[in-house]
Amino acid sequence: MKESAKLFTPAKIGSMTVKNRVVMAPMATDFADGDGSVSDKLRAYYEARARGGVGLITLEVCSIDSLFPYVPRTLGLWDDSLVPGLKTLTDAVHGNGAKIIPQLAHPGPESLSTIFSGTETVGPSAGIRNGITRMKCRELTIDEIKEILQKFGDAALRARQAGFDGVEFHAAHAYMLAGSFLSALKNRRSDEYGGTVEGRLRFCREAIESIKRAAGNDFPVIMRISADELVPGGRTVRETQYILPRLVASGVDAFHVSAGVYPDTSWRVIPPAGTPLGINTSLSRMIKEATDVPVMVVGRITSPGLAEDILQREEADLVVLGRALLADPEFVNKAREGRDDDIAPCIGCGLGCVTNRELGGDMTCLVNPAVGREEERPEPAAKKKRIMVVGAGPAGLEFSRAAARRGHEVTLYEKDDRPGGQLNLAAVVRSKREILGLIRHQVRQAEKAGVGPLTGVEVTAAMIQEQKPDAVVIATGARTCTPGICGFENCGILCSREVLAGGVDIDSGKVLIIGGGMVGCEVAEFLASPGDSVSETRTEVAIIEMNEGIGLDMFSEARYFMINSLREKGVRLYTGSTVTELFDDGAAIERGGKKIELRGFDYLVNATGAQPANELASSLESYSGEVYTIGDAREPRQALHAIAEAWDLGNKI
C-alpha cells in the first residue's frame, strides 16, 4: 500500500493529533498486576503494538473504583499511587510514536466485586444479572450515582497526570454501568436518570462533564457507543443519531462505533469468523452523517485494503483494529511498507483472545503465540542443527519457521500433496474459509525462512536413520479415534475427516453423527442442505452427544451461529445421550435413564474425537538424535495449542 494512502494520514481528535488513522481497540488482557498496577508483561504487550506503527492505542478497561473490578487483574485508575506505574506505560508507548488513552469504566452489573470483595454489584436498576456470576445487582441511589460521577472525574485527572493523551468512555452494548444507564433494555428508573431518552442519557452526559471538569476541556474524550442495539426494545440507529449532539455538547470529541448488546447479540460485539468484514461500517456512515466530530469504526477490519476502502468511502474517519493487532502487532508497518502478504491474518476464531481467558488461561492468539510473551525475544541458536520435521500441518509449519529463523537447517516433509494438515479440513466449513489465509501465511513464512515443504513424501524410520539428522520433530497430527462402542467395527461407520475431505459421497438420505463437539457440528452443517432447493434432495442429519450441549469446545459467538444454522437446517439433536450400541442403520442410546433405538439411517459418521497419529515416534525410541513430538501427534487439542507448542519448541531448540 502506498504511503500516500489515507490510512497513513494524520487525524485530529479534539486537541490530540494522531499520526495515522489506525486505532487499537480496547481488549481485556488480565496482564496487569493484582493490585491494579502496570506489569512488565502488560507494558511489553502495548509497547509492541506501538512499535508496530499503530497511531492510537486504546488501553483495556481501567476500573475507577477498587471495590468494583472488571476482571481479576484489572488495570486501575482509582488511586494516586497507580499514576507512576501508568506513566512508565505511556512513556514506553510515546517513545515509539503512538498516542495512548485508557478506557474508563465502572463495571456496574459486570463487576466481579461479589467474588473478590463480597461487595454487591450495582446498576441503574435492580435485577440485572452478571454474565459470569449470574448474580443480580441492586439499584444505585442518587447519592451513590453522584459519588461514581466524581470518581470518573478523579480517574480522568489521574490519566492526564500519568501522561495519557485522552480517555475513552465506555457506554456501548448495554454493558457495564454507563452502557446500562444508556439503554432502555436495562434502565428501568423513573427518576431523572431514567424514564425518557433524556433521562437515560443523563448519567453519560454528567460523567463526560465530570471528566472534562477534572482533566480539562482540552483533554480529549472518545465515547464508545452501540450505533444500534439490534434487539427489540433496544436503541435504534435513528435514536442514536438523535442523542449525538447532546453528547457532543457535554464534551465528546469522537465516537467509537460498535453495535449490539451483551449477551443477546454478542456476535456483533465480537464478530466471529463467517460474519461480514467491516460489519459496522453501514452504521458508522449513519453516525458520521449526524455529527461533525470524528467517527471511528470497529468490527472485522482485517486487512489494510479494507481499512483504506472504509476511509475512502467516508464510512469513518479512523478504523479500529482489535484482534488483527493481536495476530500481527506489525500490521501497520507492514502495510505502509507494501508487505500486505506478510501480515499474519486474524481468522476470527476467538479461541486465544476470548475462549482461553474465559477458561482461566492467559489471553493469547492462535495465529500469534507471542501475545503476552513479548518480553521473550528469540535468540540465534547457540548450535546450528540439522532438523527433520515430519508433517506440514499447523504445528510443523510453525516449528519450521521459528527454528529456521534462529539459524537451524530445517527440512520439512508432508505425505499429502499439499501442506496445511487438518486446517485444510477445517476450511471446508463455510464459516471458516479464512483459515485458508492462515495456511497460505504459514507456508509463505516458512519459505521465507528457507523451508519449503516437500509434499508427497512419507517419512519412515529407515529414512531418518539414513539421513541421521541432529533432531527429528514429529508433527504428524491425529486421526479420528476408535471408540469402544459395541458394534463399532461392523457397522460400516464413516470417518468425519473422510466426509469433510470429500472422500465419501453423501448426496442425500439420513445421516447419524456420533459426537456433537465442534467437528461433529461442522460435519452436520456441511451435510445438511436447507431442504428448500428444487435441485437438491434433502440430507437429513441427527447428532448424538453425551454432554448436555453441542459445540461446547467452540468459541461462544461462533457456537451461537452454529446452533442457529443447525436448527434452520432441521438437524435433530440428542444431547445428554450415551451410545451403547451401533447398528448398520443406527444406534442404541441411553438418555434420561431411558433406552432408545434410533434406526433407519443410511449413513453413520464417527466424530467422537481424535487420537495421536504418532507411530513414527514410537519407532524412533532407540534413535541416537533428539526426538520431539508436538501438536496433535503428542496430544489431540485445538490448533491454538499445537501452534503455541511448536512456537515454543522452535524458539528453544
Euclidean distance between CA atoms 554 and 51, whole angstroms = 33
Burial class (CB in 10 A: 0-12, 13-18, 19+), 289: exposed
Q: Which helix (H) or strand (E) holds 23?
A: strand 22-24
C-alpha torsion 508→512→513→515, nearest 10: 160
Closest CA to 8 of 327, 277, 307, 351: 307
Give the residue carrying C-alpha cell 471528566. Answer: 211
**Angle, CA 449 vertex, CA 432 and CA 461 arms, to 5°:** 85
Give the residue carrying C-alpha cell 449413513. Answer: 603
Calculate Rg over the CA atoms of the chain: 27
Report yes or no: 271 and 277 within 8 Å, Cβ to Cβ: no
Closest CA to 385 of 615, 616, 628: 628
**621 DSSP assignment:** T
Query: How many H helices and E strands in the chain?
Result: 22, 28
Burial class (CB in 10 A: 0-12, 13-18, 19+), 56: buried
Euclidean distance between CA atoms 62 and 65, whole angstroms = 9
Residue 193 is a catalytic residue: no
| Helix %, strand %, coil % of the chain (to 5) | 35, 20, 45
Euclidean distance between CA atoms 57 and 327, whole angstroms = 16
**569 DSSP assignment:** T
**Neighbour-count burial for 372-400, b at 16+ CB within 10 Å, e otherwise:** bbbeeeeeebeeebebbbbbbbbbbbbbb
Cα 392 from chain centre = 25
**Neighbour-count burial for 243-260, b at 16+ CB within 10 Å, e otherwise:** bbeebbebbbbbbbbbbb
Inter-CA distances, 500 with 51, 294, 487, Å: 41, 46, 24
Report yes or no: 394 and 455 within 8 Å, Cβ to Cβ: no
Inter-CA distances, 641 with 378, 463, 557, 632, Å: 19, 29, 20, 9
* Backbone φ, ψ for residue 554 (5° rounding): -100, 160
Going across the sheet that includes 409-414, the strands are 454-455, 409-414, 386-390, 471-474, 626-629
Q: Which of 70, 175, 193, 603 is catalytic?
A: 175
Cell digits of residue 473: 520433530
Report yes or no: 11 and 20 within 8 Å, Cβ to Cβ: yes
Catalytic center residues: 175
